[in-house]
Chains A and B, each alone.
Chain A
Amino acid sequence: MRADILVFPGSNCDVDTEIALREALPGWQVTRQWHDGADLSGSQFCVLPGGFAHGDYLRAGALAARSPAIEGVRALIARGGLVLGICNGFQVLVEAGILPGAFQANTVQHFICRDVALRVERAASPFLDAFAAGDVLTLPIAHQEGNYRLTEDEYRRLKDEGRIAFTYCGPHGETAGDYNPNGSYASVAGVLAEGGRVLGMMPHPERAAWPAIGRTDGLRILAAGLATAMQGGTL
């Protein structure tokens, strides 16, 4: 089994993601591939990592979404592979039209880096198999443009289809109160594409995949889906 991490100019969480995937997926081959010339044909799992692809000097993710590598991502999705976009990678998937919505600057108008609580929503996805709906995870966020925008209709549809993966919340899963760090619509922190095999999320699971110092919630996201994917045999 092989997991590939796409590296764009300005990606800066690619090595971190590699370290975390090696921890999460013992026995898997994990590679980082430069976007220009990337070959995902032998891949079962592709991660678009965090960072500032092309400096984010245009809209975050807009240039990377036009990389030829994105065609490889679409092909992987078409054959039932898993795709995870983390932070800037989520922005790229949205810019590529693979996930719905759009991004704006955080309502506080500056970069935020800190741990947040996330509630797991009722959704069918290999990425959420280790969890029950309502579980509360702790993961760090680190972004300037994480204010995820959906229209009311888009939100309803995602909700009805079980495609909201994570919501920012308080320590006990409550969403009432001041727990939305960036102004995202309905506190949405992560969404799924149809079928649940593509996940985009602003928090960084790879930064919470370090058992020695007690950060493990991200590990369960990176590892959980894969056991299922292997059992499911669609890959």
Chain B
Amino acid sequence: MADLAAAAGLTPEEAKEARRRAGRELNSLEWAILGVQWSEHCAYKHSKELLRSLPKEGASVMAGPGASAGVLDLGDGWACAAKIESHNHPSAVEPLQGAATGLGGIMRDVLAMGARPAAFLDSLRFGPLDDPRSAFLARGVVAGVGHYGNCVGVPTVGGDVYYHPSYQRNPLVNAMCVGFLRHEEMRSAAAAGEGNVFLLLGAATGRDGIGGAAFASVELQADASQDRPRVQVGDPFFGKLLIEATLEILRDLKVVAIQDLGAGGLAGASIEMCHQGGVGAEIELAQVPLRAQDLVPPEILLSESQERMLLCLRPEDVAPAQAVARRYGIEAAAIGRITAKPAMRFLFHGQCLSELDTAIYAEAPLRHLPEGMPVGHRALLTYDAPAARQDLLSLLGLPDLSDRSPIYSTYDQDVGLRTVVRPGLDAAVLRAALGAPGVAVTTDQNPRLCALSPELGAEHAVAEAARNVMARGAAPIGLTNCLNLPSPEHPEGAAALRAVVAGIGHAARELGVPVTGGNVSLYNEAEGVAIVPTPVIGMIGLLPDPEHAIGVGPAVPGLEVLLLGDFAPHLGGSVFAELKSLGQSEPAQPDYEGLRRMRAVLENDAAREAIALLHDVADGGLMTALAEIALYTGLGLDLALGQADALTLFGEASAQFVALSGDPGALMAAAERAGVNCRTLGRTTAGGLRIQSDLGVWEYGQEELQRAWRREA
């Protein structure tokens, strides 16, 4: 019997604990379910304790960690549901379907809160593009995001991408979904009411993706192609029908509880819904609509076939729900009923295969993280105008800074008519509906900083995400995080996990932004190479009037260019230091006080209205930020920078912005009141980018910048 437990991926201690709790030996079905439910992917057994330390409280939080997705109040009765999740290992094996089902899975989490999925963001990490395998994976993943998002009718409005050798064999695909709902439409996953019915809605169940959660909970093997059957297959057309049918059922009927079928399939969803509601269920597996008729009970329970939702309904609502499903041509089967006794009874053609307390499955024993430990040095150089001129062009052409439009122009960015500002600069802007409030959304993390210090890197990820939504004039009100890390069973991995959670917690507290949930992806290593700790932050910024967000109107020649914030750049962890092989030193801590003051400036209506465009100084420093403004607007900039050296031109700051303004007086007054330094750099023009400094004078034509940025050299 011990081998059944081991085959399910449980340690001898875990198997012993399971027997102790059950008071008996478990059968093969129970071991199989337990193997999935107690996997890292489902149970968060290495990270649960740590994650409790993150701040969860906030004035806007309507649902936080533990719910299918976080929900934030936007005002006027509107709310925003958002969550980010990883789909790394499947994407390493089958990039197109891996990425596609990553979008589908996170979309259904948002749907399960009662929200209409309104936008995706994709945060991607690949090895260097000159490696053919990395280029293949990058192409496949981008195609997969487009394949699913475009067809399902949810626009992809943002994201981020970095290239780093540690991702060569283990790419990262993190997908975020944002949805909108009215307050009264919010739903939970807590099943309730003895005699209520479990309705399985959506696609028929097949053999795909069996054991996917367990696959995500071990290191990738060199020949990962044999794991292909563990990758699920998405069908965005069916996903679209599922969205419409689900929202119609939620609107017209009294749905008691709802959850999507993700990791652990039907077993996972039913166990979690019952455990949240403190109830049990009796489920007849013969009632589950099958795509392959010869599926056996463990396969039916553990299949991760996509495009399925589990609903808990009152008996009288079952037939009306089935009528809606029929109209959309999708399955809706009553497969079980809720019992007061908190136990899961699984039946097959009336025969009871298993009865076990819900809590035994749902409460995995937690694992202790091994103790562990990390890095740095520095250099400097003399500098002149010709070098500065060339260095900017070189930076713009690096894969980490170059034009992202070849990626996002393959995504439908507009469907739904909610996209006020499309992807490109800082954060996209969405409205919840016609005339409703909206949000600015972004994902961020910088592998260079995280490689030097996972903790400071995590802090900077939060700071950068906050800056990006602030650049649209939005107030950061909540974040969702996806923690991509190597194996927690090694001391370094365990230390990195602790460090990124500490960093996010610290930054979130400093900025007053609650963490509304997210996802942990461990075991991101392949062939002996561990990824750089990659805590991706998805940030939601509130915009009461999204159609008047900063950057919606056109920028024109003749605007004043201003630099806001203390000019305190660092070369530690900068792209410039990498470009010039300077050696890396640990980055500085983000300037939280500077960010709080900048928030005060942006809370001033007159100051916000005075800003035509706002862009933060981040990767590549001030020069890159200025060039990006020229590239994004098509305008020229005529600038006098005064004292300049490599540090001031290319050092990276954490609380600094460049603003374009037609009414600089209002902005300067607000900045002064908030204690934010503000100085004029020059004006926008119809020409190119012209820099005057004590290094000398140099210029770029718009065409020249465009060519460098598009890597057309």
- The answer to whether A and B assemble together is yes
Residues of B within 8 Å of A9, CB to CB, are 237, 240-241, 328-329
Selected contact of B420 from candidates A110, A206, A213, CB within 8 Å: A213
A207 contacts B by Cβ under 8 Å = yes
In the bound complex, do residue A19 and residue B434 qualify as a contact, i.e. CB atoms below 8 Å apart? yes
Chain A CB within 8 A of B558 CB: no
A112 near B409 with CB under 8 A, answer yes
Contacts A9-B237, A12-B240, A110-B410; is A51 near B417 (CB within 8 Å)?
Answer: no
Contact: A110 with B241, CB < 8 Å? no
Do A55 and B235 touch (CB < 8 A)?
yes
Tally the A-B contacts, defined by beta carbons under 8 Å.
81
Q: Are A140 and B328 in contact, CB atoms less than 8 angstroms apart?
A: no
Neighbour of A16 across the interface among B150, B235, B416, CB < 8 A: B416
Instruction: Report if B709 contacts A (CB, 8 A).
Output: no
State which of B146, B240, B408, B417 has its C-beta within 8 Å of the C-beta of A206: B417
Q: Does A212 contact B (CB under 8 A)?
A: yes
**A97-119 CB contact bits vs B (8 Å, 1 = yes)?**
00000000000001111100000
* Chain A hits for B554, CB < 8 A: 214
Q: Distance (Å) between the CB of B412 and the closest chain A CB?
A: 5
Chain A interface extent, by class: 20 to 34
Tell me, yes or no, whether B220 is within 8 Å of chain A by CB.
Answer: no
| CB contact between B237 and one of A10, A13, A111, A214 (< 8 Å): that residue | A10
For the residues of A in contact with B, the DSSP-based class is: mixed
Contacting residues of chain B (319-339) with chain A, CB-CB under 8 angstroms: 327-329
* Closest chain B residue, CB of each to CB of A114: B409
Give the B interface residue count (CB, 8 A). Answer: 32
Flag whether A34 is at the interface (Cβ < 8 A): yes
Contact partner of B151 among A13, A52, A210, A213, CB < 8 A? A52
Q: Could you tell me the distance between the alpha carbons of A206 and B417 in the complex, rounded to whole angstroms?
A: 8
Q: Which residues of A contact B552 (CB under 8 A)?
A: 213-214
Q: Does B72 belong to the interface (CB within 8 Å)?
A: no
- Assembled-state Cα–Cα distance A54/B241 (Å): 10
Measured between beta carbons, the chain A residues less than 8 angstroms from B411 are 111, 113
Q: Does the CB pair B152–A12 fall under 8 Å?
A: yes
> Does A67 lie at the interface of the complex (its beta carbon under 8 Å from any beta carbon of B)?
no
Decide: A113 near B547, CB < 8 A? Known: A9-B329, A19-B417.
no
What are the residues of chain B within 8 A of A51 when measuring CB–CB? 153
Partner of B410, one of A16, A111, A140: A111
Interface contact B414-A207, CB-CB below 8 Å:
yes
For the complex, what is the distance from the CA of A212 to the CA of B328, rounded to whole Å?
A: 35
A26 to B200, alpha carbons, bound, how many Å?
42
* Interface check A142, CB cutoff 8 A: yes
B236 at the interface (CB under 8 A from A): yes
Q: Is B376 an interface residue (CB 8 A)?
A: no
Among residues of B, the one whose C-beta sits closest to the C-beta of A112 is B409
Closest chain A residue, CB of each to CB of B156? A113
Query: With A34-B327, A111-B146, A111-B410 in contact, do A213 and B547 touch (Cβ < 8 Å)?
Result: yes
Chain B 145-159 interface residues, beta-carbon cutoff 8 Å to A: 146, 150-153
Inter-chain contact B151/A10, CB cutoff 8 Å:
yes
Inter-chain CA distance A144–B328, complex, in Å, is 25
Is A113 a contact of B409 with CB atoms below 8 Å?
yes
Q: Within 8 Å of chain B (Cβ to Cβ): is A15?
A: yes
Which residues from A are CB-within-8-Å of B329?
9
B442 CB-CB contact with A under 8 Å: no
Query: What are the residues of chain A within 8 A of B415 when measuring CB–CB?
Result: 12-13, 16, 50, 142
A50 to B413, CA, bound (A): 14
Q: Chain A nearest CB: distance from B174 CB in Å? A: 21
Min C-beta distance of B187 to chain A, whole Å: 21
A194 within 8 A of B: no
- Which residue of chain A lies nearest to B548 when distances are taken between CB atoms in the complex? A212
Closest to A210 in B: B417
Q: Please report the C-alpha to C-alpha distance between residue A140 and residue B422 in the assembled complex, in whole angstroms.
A: 12
- Measured CB to CB, the nearest residue on chain A to B152 is A12
Residues of B within 8 A of A16 (CB): 415-417
Q: Is B36 an interface residue (CB 8 A)?
A: no
Interface 0/1 of B394-425, CB less than 8 Å to A: 00000000000100111111111100100000
Q: How far does the alpha carbon of A56 sit from the alpha carbon of B236 in the complex, in Å?
A: 11
What residues on A are CB-neighbors of B630 within 8 Å?
A: none
Is B233 part of the binding interface, using a Cβ–Cβ cutoff of 8 Å? no
Whether A20 contacts B150 by the Cβ 8 Å rule is no
Tell me, rounded to whole Å, the shortest Cβ–Cβ distance linking A103 to chain B: 16
- A170 CB → nearest B CB, Å: 15
Which residue in chain A gives the minimum CB-CB distance to B552?
A213
Could you list some 13 contacts between A and B, CB below 8 A?
A9-B241, A9-B328, A12-B151, A12-B152, A12-B240, A13-B153, A15-B417, A52-B153, A52-B237, A113-B150, A142-B413, A207-B417, A213-B547
| Extra contacts besides A10-B237, A19-B434, A142-B412 (7): CB < 8 Å | A9-B328, A10-B240, A13-B153, A20-B417, A52-B153, A113-B409, A142-B415
Chain B residues packing against A (C-beta within 8 Å): 143, 146, 150-153, 235-238, 240-241, 327-329, 405, 408-417, 420, 434, 547, 552-554
Closest 5 CB pairs of A and B: A12-B153, A55-B237, A212-B547, A16-B417, A52-B151
